[in-house]
Amino acid sequence: MKKKFIAGILTAALAFGVLTACGSSDAAADTDASAEGAAAADETAAADETAAADETAAADETEETADDSAQAESKGTITIAASATPHAEILEQVKPILAEQGWDLEITVFDDYVQPNLVVESGEFDANYFQHIPYLESFNEEQGTHLVNAGGIHYEPFGIYPGTKSDLTTLESGDVIAVPNDTTNEARALLLLQDNGILTLKDGVGLEATVRDIVDNPYDIEIQELEAAQVPRVKDEVAFAVMNGNYAMEAGFSVSKDAVAYEKSDSEAAQTYVNVIAVKEGNENNEGIKALVEALKSDAIVDYINNTYDGGVIPFN
């Protein structure tokens, strides 16, 4: 009996030892597997960090290369004199287009029609953008300057705008109509008045017409001649004001909504008075000037003009 009891104890001990050994083996296997998984994860994380670092370094290098390239491609500065509306506004839209090509466009706004031409003639500025060809030619003749057209960009319909009256048929003796006093713009204003039956000019005077060429004045109106920029400022003191498109817009007028009459887009006058980029003779083929004109004729600028000025500015093809 004693022997049997001892044998049972030995058998139980042996079984426990076997179970313990199996448990230790499983735990060791689990520990080894965990260690291998952690090591693999560490290797993957390290690889990801290395790849990310490589990508960042490559991006930084690419950016630096692009910056260096942009600096290397810088072509210089184009200086231009312009009227505020719409010319300078349009030029602001051109800036980023030219910047992509390496050109820096510097815009200076003038509020008269004389200084922008004088600063281009003197070489202080590369170009100006405010005038049409008849005015340019007249200015050259009167001032002895040597300015030429480098490219036609747009035209602005001339309009007759209401002052103290809003209906042309209500004009009476003594009523005053204000017009620009420079040669070509005065002729343009008088031709528009003639087209609307307000007066009659001598045959053939065309773009050289002045108040002295009025041969019939059925309403007995008075024509008040003012510097173009002054015309909008007297609109509340006169029956009507005949305005350049840009000055009308500056005064808050829309040619399609506010003018009682205006030049039609297919009229000879509208086609004649295309606003141009003017430069000193000999500079019209300079690289910067050609880039400027090309940018102003781009689809992006055509769309901007059409979407912004409500018919007051028409792109010229």
Count of helices and strands (H, E) across the chain:
9, 13
The Cα–Cα gap between 312 and 4 comes to 120
Q: What is the mean pLDDT of the chain?
A: 83
Tokens of 207: 């773009």
Residues 176 and 205 in one domain: yes
For residue 54, being part of any structural domain is answered with no
pLDDT band for position 61 (50/70/90)?
Answer: low
> How large is the greatest C-alpha to C-alpha distance in the chain, in angstroms?
155
E strands of the chain, at which residues? 76-82, 103-109, 127-132, 147-155, 159-162, 176-180, 200-201, 214-216, 222-226, 240-243, 261-262, 274-280, 314-315
pLDDT average, residue stretch 141-160: 95
For residue 228, being part of any structural domain is answered with yes
pLDDT band for position 14 (50/70/90)?
Answer: very low
Q: Would the pTM of this model clear 0.85, i.e. be above it?
A: no
The Cα–Cα gap between 212 and 156 comes to 26
For residue 51, being part of any structural domain is answered with no
pLDDT tens per residue, range 184-219: 789 999 999 999 999 999 999 988 899 999 999 999
pLDDT average, residue stretch 229-256: 92
For residue 56, being part of any structural domain is answered with no
Residues 152 and 291 in one domain: yes
Classify the C-alpha dihedral 173-174-180-181 as positive or negative. Answer: positive
Q: What's the domain count of the chain?
A: 2
219: which DSSP letter?
Answer: T
E strands of 110-146, at which residues? 127-132
Tally of CB atoms within 10 A around 76 = 10
pLDDT tens per residue, range 70-117: 453 899 999 999 999 999 999 999 999 999 999 999 999 999 999 999
β 314-315/200-201 pair status: unpaired
Residues 119 and 105 in one domain: yes
User: How confident is the model at residue 42, as a pLDDT?
Assistant: 52
For residue 2, being part of any structural domain is answered with no
Residues 86 and 138 in one domain: yes
Asked if residue 131 has pLDDT above 80, the reply is yes
Classify the C-alpha dihedral 242-245-246-252 as positive or negative. Answer: positive
Please tell me the total number of residues recorded for the chain in this structure: 317
pLDDT band for position 300 (50/70/90)?
Answer: very high
User: How confident is the model at residue 3, as a pLDDT?
Assistant: 40
Residues 165 and 254 in one domain: yes
**Domain limits for position 305:** 73-156+273-315
pLDDT tens per residue, range 113-130: 999 999 999 999 999 999
The Cα–Cα gap between 98 and 76 comes to 10
Residues 259 and 164 in one domain: yes
Quote the crossing angle between the two packed helices 299-308 and 89-100, to the nearest 10°.
160
